[in-house]
């Protein structure tokens, strides 16, 4: 079964993500790719043969669209090159996306070295499959079963 991956980069890290993707282009031809709007456009221009679904731009809801996909078990890995030096107007959305990836055990790389670690792991696909459809409700049962 093919996995779906999310690709997102803040503006100053878009060139880095494009260079990183070039290094791993063979793997990514096998994955379904979902990206936030501008990241998707930049990557599609550089790699016209890739099939990239560009969602809304991050500040206009793209991060939340990816978060929604995670909550529905539709995304198996995230590569999100964040910019730690630039305040983002939609910081709450950025944090919400990272939080949901954590919650649903979706592997998420927020910088290039971690992205290298993930993608070069021979068990990358197997691990993505293992956690596909992960249900946090069981782990956080004290929350789901709390008395109201």
39 near ligand 13P, judged by CB under 6 A: yes
Under the binding rule (CB under 6 A), the answer on residue 67 touching ligand 13P is no
Kindly state whether residue 59 participates in binding ligand 13P, applying the rule CB under 6 A: yes
Does residue 6 belong to the site contacting ligand 13P (CB under 6 A)? no
CA–CA dist 144, 67 (Å, integer): 20
Interface residue with ligand 13P among 6, 21, 37, 81 (CB under 6 A) is: 37
User: Is 135 annotated to bind ligand?
Assistant: no
Q: Residue count at the site for ligand 13P (CB under 6 A)? A: 12
| CB closer to ligand 13P, 55 vs 128 | 55
Interacting residues with ligand 13P (CB under 6 A): 8, 10, 36-39, 57-59, 62-63, 94
């Amino acid at each position: 079964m093919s996995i779906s991956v999310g690709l997102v980069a803040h503006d100053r890290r878009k060139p880095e993500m494009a260079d990183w993707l070039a290094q791993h282009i063979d793997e990514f031809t096998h994955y379904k790719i979902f990206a936030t709007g501008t990241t998707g456009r930049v990557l599609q221009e550089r790699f016209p043969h890739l099939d990239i679904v560009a969602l809304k731009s991050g500040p206009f809801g793209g991060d939340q669209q990816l978060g929604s996909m995670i909550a529905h078990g539709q995304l198996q890995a995230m590569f999100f090159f964040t910019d730690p030096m630039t305040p983002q107007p939609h910081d709450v959305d950025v944090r919400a996306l990272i939080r949901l990836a954590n919650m649903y055990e979706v592997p998420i790389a927020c910088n290039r070295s971690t992205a290298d670690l993930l993608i070069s792991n021979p068990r990358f696909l197997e691990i993505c499959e293992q956690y596909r459809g992960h249900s946090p409700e069981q782990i956080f049962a004290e929350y789901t079963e709390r008395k109201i």
